[in-house]
Amino acid sequence: MIDRFHEELKKLKEEVIQMGELAKEMLHDSIEALKEQDVELAERVISRKKRLADMDAEIEEKSLQLIALYHPMAKDMRTLGCILKVITYLNRIGRYGKDIANIAKELSDKPHIAKLVEIPYMAELVCKMIDDALKAFETEDISLIKDFSERDDSLDALRWSIFRECITYMMEDQRNITRCAYYIMIARYLERCGDHACKIAEKIHFMVTGERIEIK
């Protein structure tokens, strides 16, 4: 019975990784659609929203079933608790990808300002954080998330740098206002995705060690 539980838990963790990859791809592809002004790619990102929501619901249901059937304790229970939290954060990351894809469609016929300022670089940092968090969840190697606080600080600084630069462009020419307002929104979305990656890292640390941390 214990062996069966652990086999089902292993499969469930694999499904979480798959959901995480989907969420990360949605975010990555939304920025690519924005950068390349690719409406078809943006539409594909938006179309993945249902699959993401379905995975969220399916994993939640399976987690609750495992709790009800096997009454896990200690690390097994922490793992299921972690899963229930992580899928919520992954769903939110994917939804931000969908929101950025909608903006990409809106701006598809307008020239970029300053090569999208530092948005592509900021997105690269966020996607790397998500990737490392997923690897830490899969391997239980918490060294992958040890510098998340510093990385989060870098994202915060980038967000405000983008904000200030966009304000400058808006003041120089009112025709830049709409595009720069969207850029500021996207930077905020990316910062929130970084925050979600940090929350995932916190839950993984608790899952592995039993100790709670706060990444600021």
pLDDT band at 1 (very low <50, low <70, confident <90, very high): confident
In angstroms, the CA 207 to CA 139 distance is 12
Residue 129 confidence (pLDDT): 98
Length of the chain in terms of residues written? 216
- The structural domains of the chain, with segments of one domain joined by +, span 2-209
Please determine, for residue 185, whether its predicted confidence score (pLDDT) is greater than 80: yes
Q: Are 54 and 74 in contact (CB under 8 A)?
A: no
Q: Are 150 and 71 in contact (CB under 8 A)?
A: no
User: What is the tens place of the pLDDT at every residue in 45-89?
Assistant: 999 999 999 999 999 999 999 999 999 999 999 999 999 999 999
Q: Kindly report the pTM of this predicted structure.
A: 0.96
Among 1-5, 56-60, 162-166, 181-185, the minimum mean pLDDT is found in: 1-5
In angstroms, the CA 41 to CA 30 distance is 7
The mean pLDDT of 116-144, rounded to a whole number, is: 97
Nearest CA-CA partner of 100 in 198, 1, 28, 13: 28
Q: Scanning the structure block, which residue is given the tokens 């918490």?
A: 142
pLDDT band at 216 (very low <50, low <70, confident <90, very high): confident
Phi-psi region of 171 (alpha: psi -120 to 50; beta: other; left: phi over 0): alpha
Residue by residue, DSSP assigns 111-137 as: --SGGGTTHHHHHHHHHHHHHHHHHHH
Q: Scanning the structure block, which residue is given the tokens 């925050």?
A: 195
User: What is the tens place of the pLDDT at every residue in 18-48?
Assistant: 999 999 999 999 999 999 999 999 999 999 9
Q: Which two tokens stand for residue 104?
A: 């990409």
Q: Phi/psi at 128 (nearest 5 deg)? A: -65, -40
Please determine, for residue 110, whether its predicted confidence score (pLDDT) is greater than 80: yes
Q: State which fold the 2-209 domain adopts.
A: Methane Monooxygenase Hydroxylase; Chain G, domain 1 (1.20.58)
